Each structure stands twice: as structure tokens, then as C-alpha cells.
Amino acid sequence: MRATVMFGAFDVRVEDVPDAGLVEPTDALVRVTHACICGSDLWPYKTMERTEGGHRMGHEAVGVVEETGADVRTLKAGDVVVMPFAFSDGTCEFCRRGLQTSCPHGGFFGISSELGAQAEAVRVPLADGTLVALPVGSDDASIPSLLTLSDVMGTGHHGALAARVGPGRTVAVVGDGAVGLCGVIAARRLGAEQIIIMGRHADRTALAKEFGATDVVTERGDGAVERVRELTGGFGVHSVLECVGLEESMATAIRIARPGGAVGRVGVPQEETLPASEEAFYDNITIAGGAAPARAHVEELMADVLGGRIEPGRVFDRTMPLEDVAEGYRAMNDRESIKVMIQV
Ligand SMILES: [Zn+2]
């Protein structure tokens, strides 16, 4: 089968690889119909050391179940499914509490394993716990939005929950990538009164406004902090979604939270230490969030997608065939595209 393999920085190709197939009785084999490229795929794209065998890529997919192992109970061949970026058993203490990314039997698709979704097919471990059957066909108009439940929409929602977004609260979203844009959708959905998007790409902040952002802040650093305080009566926002993961963006997130506010971080941290720690201490800022258990939020968000209340699939501004995946990485890395959908 054809699959995306990254061999080193700026070297990603579609190659012939052995066909995916069932290994464990709890596996499902999924024929991928739609995958996508993630902002997090761009870190290895820029920095990966060259390896002989390469790494399989992709952790977001919608597809059709081809075959199920003997122990799979809830899925059958022909089901259209969405695949969250982590697999999980659905039964352990952490899965039952909605923290599937900490499942002791779980793991991640994409670079850390041989299970890549930017491919014609993918083996899905622990299929009963991991996959969610969709009540629509794989050619339905809602598929791009349902595909975002694999990662970016679930991650934005997780950030909003961690930042304690709710009715009447003021919110800032740091980062105008696909996760930040989905964070705006999530904040609006949870009833936020004011939503400030912080970013400097005009096309992205324009989309954020369509998603419900009330204000745009293009400044960075001290200028950004000053501007957010001006927009919020001098004290900053109740809730901040940190959707970048860099030291500067985290420091800004902490400094624009009002005393007693909360930062929900969903940008993968690129530093070991947390900046602005003293300010966070004296202002009693709650810092929460982490790897998003996308699986926990699929059903709730799916209802809003199918009900036409949210349309996170609008973050996809380009669609490409699998064979053009390298061009997709380039376009996202050069900021020509917010997020690329791959039609397989
Ligand atoms: Zn579990």
C-alpha cells in the first residue's frame, strides 16, 4: 500500500510499504478515506534527523472499517469511523474518567509508532475503545468537520475546558493555527462573552472572527499584554487558551490572564520550564491542560457538527491527493495553508 514516510527534515515522501493488516484480536483495519497534516507534523518536518527507514506519519483520519479482529464487539466491516490521534482501551480507570491519552494500554498514531494515518490504510489497536462510528457516509459534506474531531477540534475544546471557559467569561486564544481557530469555536460554544484571537495572519484571524472571535490582537510580547488589558477593563481575561507551545506564547498567556484566571495549555511545550512563574504565583493563575483526550469529546462535538451548529472543517483550506502529501507539508510549513486535508 501507499503511505507517507518522513526520512528527515524537509524529506517526506509517499512510498510503497507492506499492507496494513490485523495483528491483535482487538485490532480493526481501516481503509483511510480522509487524513490530514497536523501543525505538530511540522516540528519533525523542520528538525528530524535523517534515518534510513524513515517514520510513518499521520494521526488524524476518517475511514471505512475493512476487517475486525475476533474480539472487536462494537464495529463491523463497512462502518465509517473517525480515529482520534491516540488509541485507548476505553475501559481502564483513566479512559472512564475521560483521560484516554493516559491509558496504560494506549499509545499514539504517527511518528512515535508504525501506525501512520497518511496512508491508504491503518491498523487501529483497541478498536472498540478508540474508534467512533459515524452516522454518515464517507462522502458526506460533514466529513471535513468530523475529521477535525480526530485532533484539532477536540484539542481546542480541551483547552477551553482547562481554561474554565463558560458563559459570561472573557477569553483569549493565543495562536491562530487550526487548534487556535477551533479553540475560538469551542469558546463560543461554551458561552464566552468576549473572545480575543491573538495572531498576525490576516486570513486566519478573519476566519476566527467568522467562528466567533470579537477582537483581534496582532501585537506580541509586552504590546500584546497591554492591548489585551485595554480590551478587558485593565485586568486581562478570565480564560486563556495557549495553542502554540513556545516560551514566549506561554509567558504571554500567563500575563494576559486576570488574577484568579486560568490558562488551558494545548500547544505542545517546546521548553522544559514554565515561564512567568512568579507572575502566575502572585496572580493565582491556574495552569491546566495537556495532551488532549480527543476521544473523550467525539460524541458531544459530533452532535454539534451534525446539527450544523459548528463547522470546524472550515480550517481545511486545501485538499490534496495522498500522492501530493509532500506539497501539503511544504504549503503548511510556508504558511500558505492553515491545514491540508488529504483525500485518499
Ligand atoms: Zn484506558
Task: Compute the half-sphere exposure of residue 190: CA atoms within 13 Å on the CB side of its CA.
Answer: 26
Please, where are the H alpha helices in 163-220?
Answer: 178-189, 202-211
Cα(127) to centroid(ligand 1), Å: 12
pLDDT at position 295 is: 98
C-alpha cell, 156 = 481546542
Cα(63) to centroid(ligand 1), Å: 23
Cα(275) to centroid(ligand 1), Å: 32
pLDDT at position 271 is: 87
Cα(198) to centroid(ligand 1), Å: 35
Cα(130) to centroid(ligand 1), Å: 10
Structure letter (DSSP) for residue 119: B
pLDDT at position 114 is: 81
**Would you give per-residue pLDDT tens digits along the chain (344 residues)?**
999 999 999 999 999 999 999 999 999 999 999 999 999 999 999 999 999 989 999 999 999 999 999 999 999 999 999 999 999 999 999 999 999 999 999 999 996 668 999 999 999 999 999 999 999 999 999 999 999 999 999 999 999 999 999 999 999 999 999 999 999 999 999 999 999 999 999 999 999 999 999 999 999 999 999 999 999 999 999 999 999 999 999 999 999 999 999 999 999 998 889 999 999 999 999 999 999 999 999 999 999 999 999 999 999 999 999 999 999 999 999 999 999 999 99
Instruction: Name residues with Cβ closer than 5 Å to ligand 1, which is an ion.
Output: 88-89, 92, 95, 103
CB 165 within 8 A of CB 239: yes
Cα(295) to centroid(ligand 1), Å: 11
C-alpha cell, 179 = 487548534
Sheet holding 170-174, edge to edge: 215-217, 194-198, 170-174, 237-242, 257-265, 286-289
Cα(102) to centroid(ligand 1), Å: 7
Q: In whole angstroms, how far apart are CA 88 and each of 125, 270, 340?
A: 8, 25, 26
C-alpha cell, 265 = 495549555
Residue 130: helix, strand or coil by DSSP? helix
Cα(64) to centroid(ligand 1), Å: 23
Cα(101) to centroid(ligand 1), Å: 8
Q: Around Cβ 193, how many Cβ atoms within 10 Å?
A: 13
pLDDT at position 112 is: 64
Query: CA torsion, points 297, 298, 303, 307, in degrees to nearest 10?
Result: 110
Cα(118) to centroid(ligand 1), Å: 25
